[in-house]
Structure 1
Amino acid sequence: MTTKTLRAGGGFSVRYEPRAALSVLGLLVLTVAVAVVLIGTGDFPMTPGEVVDTLLGKGTVVQEFAVMDLRLPRVLVAVFVGAALAVGGAVFQSVSRNPLGSPDVIGFGQGATVGALAVIVLFQGDAAAAAGGAVVGGLVTGVTIYLLAWKKGVHGYRLVLVGIGAAAMLTSVIHYLITKANLVDATRATVWMTGSLDGRDWSQFWPLFAVCCVLLPLVLGHGRALRMLEMGDDAAYALGVKVERTRIVLMASAVLLVAVATSAAGPIVFVSLSAPQLARRLTRAPGPNLAASALMGSALLLSADWIATNAFGERQLPVGVVTGILGGCYLLWLLVTERKAGRI
């Protein structure tokens, strides 16, 4: 991978990899383009030009209502949910040094689901309470898995194995809660569990936006340290990384990102698994590729939402169904690839 250095005045310089930089720029353009197309899609169709004019304040009253009140919040929730899930997945895959070290494989997504379902089924909580339950469930699961995987440090494969076991147990708890629910609560829980962007408005966006504004820069700021952790604890120590403190900060941030994303849109599966791997293959750069992963996650979720709302005629699907189908195919391909490479 070719690396170039951009020099500025005062001795300041930035090293960058041209292919990675172009990939990030291309993903940014793709994300914006898909977002504009998705905003213009619906019972009141709009061209991309009309969408852009409306966003700039030049649309009609009807267009402004359709865009600003109905469609833009949904699209922005998709953008930040996709970015949060992808960055969370990139962190866990780097910490565990395993492409299967994804939050929805090692139990964190299931923990958030249990928290939300417990609020819905046991306490008949509303949507806001369910969102809070998802955050608490995700955090409790993250702490528990970390403690169970701890043995003079957290080894990647031990974290994955403990997480897979926790995911199996949490899945059983999910089924138990569904059986204990009455018909109305069971229906609400089932709809929430599919993962959907339907009906998302500014009330879901602003808490998600606030958390992402804090945690995404925090994780991106630890990108170099995370890259050192991929080389192993001893190498990271030798390069001056405070391993355990860095690992705890990154894992806590990743768990919270996944939990908040789940609280905003439900358990949308496989984005956190596939987005970091696709970003790494696109950039062909070592390390977690956090910026590329975030944009890849946003582009994937926006594309999946477009497919869910347009590819099946009048019958719209929850976006979680589409990501599950596409992600399942990707997981099978990844397992075959890893097996051929002798890594599993």
Structure 2
Amino acid sequence: MTESFSAPHAVDSRQSGSGSPAPALPSAFRAYRLAVPPVSGIARPRLVVLCAVLGIGTFLLFCWGLTVGDYPIGFTDVVRALGGAGDPGTVLVVQDLRLPRALVGLLAGVAFGVSGALFQTMTRNPLASPDMIGLTQGAGTAVVAGLVLGWDAGLGTQTLGLFGALATALLVHLLAWRRGTTGYRIILVGIGVSWMCSSATDYLMAKGGRFEAQAALGWLVGNLNGRTWDETRPLAVALALLLPASLLLGRLLRTLQLGDDVATGLGTRVQSVRLAVLLTGVGLIAFATAAAGPVAFVALAAPQIAQRLARTAWPPTVASGLTGALVVLGSDLIARTLVPGTELPVGIVTGVLGAPILLWLLVRANRAGSGG
């Protein structure tokens, strides 16, 4: 269905995630409805500016991270080395040794952010992220089982993590199905499955030997240390396929914000859209977790940060992905420089930064539920 207007006019998009109106926006940052028959849409200058700022910040942080290491390299030398120019030794260090790690952090951050935005929009709940509904825990259980029990059969952590996340998503979907699924049931079932997977992982860690337990723990925390092109390529291919699908699902997801009955009345196949979103989100989180480990809280926090910066009624997909990349790259930089001579796992830093955001969301949800 298309709509035509004689002239673009402002559309009020200042509704905050809490249901109360946000402060008035300058006219330059308000949303405008545009129509060029047969296509119509809404232009949001603020969101465009936000994505541009986040993109520039991500690129600068990406290059800055490449300067850090045992062999210090200047920022301008890093930029030149990315293009293949400059000293051959610098080019070797940047492109072969440091670039895979930075790319895994960048791509995994985008995947975490977009996946979190999809789940939070689908369920209309800011707490609905892959961390909370068991997907990352399921991937972790599969990887630990492979390392401790020797079930990997040469598959590697990437394939095991992918199978674990997909199996967990299927289990959640089946347990939440009752003439269809709802966001509320997916969250409740997902929390239960999450605890089940966490308990299974703890049992496997206790059962395994010291070497296997250390290897599993290093992956479970969320770690970018030692990443190579073997982890980068599958993640890049997955994002090349799944990100366009995420953008195509964005408009259908926004109809789900109106409720299942209204969305059905508008011609949206609610259960088909929900299944497509689930599969797309699971694919993103599975490949990202397989490459970087279950980096905590990024999928939960990034969409919420992006939503508040953009002042939209739902987490914006592109801005959420860029925010996730910024969070992972920034946390990795902190992890590498906080303790001289020691590289902390990136998941420790994201956990420290993300825990207050989770507490804030819980307090905010409690106040909204009590009418306070």
TM-score of the pair, normalised by structure 1: 0.95
What corresponds to 1:262 in structure 2?
289
Residues 99-144 of structure 1, C-alpha deviations (whole Å, 9 max, x = no match)? 1111111111100001111111111648852221111010000011
Q: Is the deviation greater in 149-158 or in 11-20?
A: 11-20
1:167-204 deviation line (CA, Å, top 9, x unaligned)? 11111100111112112111111111111000111111
Specify whether residues 40 and 258 from structure 1 end up closer, same or farther in structure 2 by C-alpha distance, changes over 3 A only. same
Q: Partner amino acid for 2:131?
A: D
Q: 1:279 aligns with which of 287, 292, 306?
A: 306
Q: 1:46 to 1:126 in 2, by over 3 A?
A: farther
Report whether the alignment pairs 1:305 with 2:337: no
Q: 2:210 aligns with which of 183, 186, 201?
A: 183
Q: Match of 1:267, SS?
A: coil
Question: What SS is found at the alignment partner of 1:15?
Answer: strand
Residue 73 in 1 paired to residue 73 in 2? no
Decide which moves more: 151-160 or 17-26. 151-160
Corresponding residue number in structure 2 for 1:217: 244
Distance (whole Å) between structure 2 residues aligned to residue 16 and residue 46 of structure 1: 41
Match of 1:310, as an amino acid?
A: T
How far 1:12 moved relative to its partner?
Answer: 5.4
User: How many residues in Structure 1 have an aligned counterpart in Structure 2?
Assistant: 343
| Amino acid of the structure 1 residue aligned with 2:31 | T
Listed as ranges, the gaps of 5+ residues in structure 1 are none
SS in 1 for 2:42: strand
Change (3 A) 1:6 1:55: farther
Indicate the residue corresponding to 1:157 in structure 2.
Answer: 184
Whether the aligned pair in 2 keeps the contact of 1:116 and 1:137 (CA below 8 Å) is yes
Write the mapping of 1:133-144 to structure 2, written as runs, cut at 5 A: 133-144=160-171
User: Tell me, what secondary structure is at the counterpart of 1:228?
Assistant: helix
Q: Say yes or no: does 1:94 pair with 2:113.
A: no
Aligned pairs for 1:33-182 (under 5 A) are 33-123=60-150, 125=152, 128-182=155-209
Whether 1:244 and 2:271 are equivalent positions in the alignment is yes
Unpaired runs of 5+ in structure 2? 1-12, 14-29
Does the CA-based 8 Å contact 1:107-1:141 persist in structure 2?
Answer: yes
* Aligned residues of 1:223 and 1:288 also touching (Cα < 8 A): no
Contact residue 120 and residue 189 of structure 1 kept, 8 A: yes
Deviation, structure 1 residue 251: 0.5
- The 2-side partners of 1:146 and 1:186 are apart by 31
* AA in 2 matched with 1:151: R
CA RMSD of aligned residues (A): 1.7
Is this contact kept in 2: 1:119–1:125, CA < 8 A? Answer: yes
Structure with the bigger percentage of helix: 1
With over 3 angstroms needed to count, the CA separation of the structure-2 counterparts of 1:260 and 1:127, relative to structure 1, is farther
Percent identity, please.
40
Show structure 1 runs of 4+ deviating over 4 A: 5-8, 10-14
Partners of 1:174 and 1:262 lie apart in 2 by 15
Q: Secondary structure at the match of 1:342?
A: helix
How far apart are the structure 1 equivalents of 2:273 and 2:325? 26
CA positional deviation for 1:14: 4.9
In structure 2, the CA distance between the partners of 1:322 and 1:128, relative to structure 1 (3 Å rule), is farther
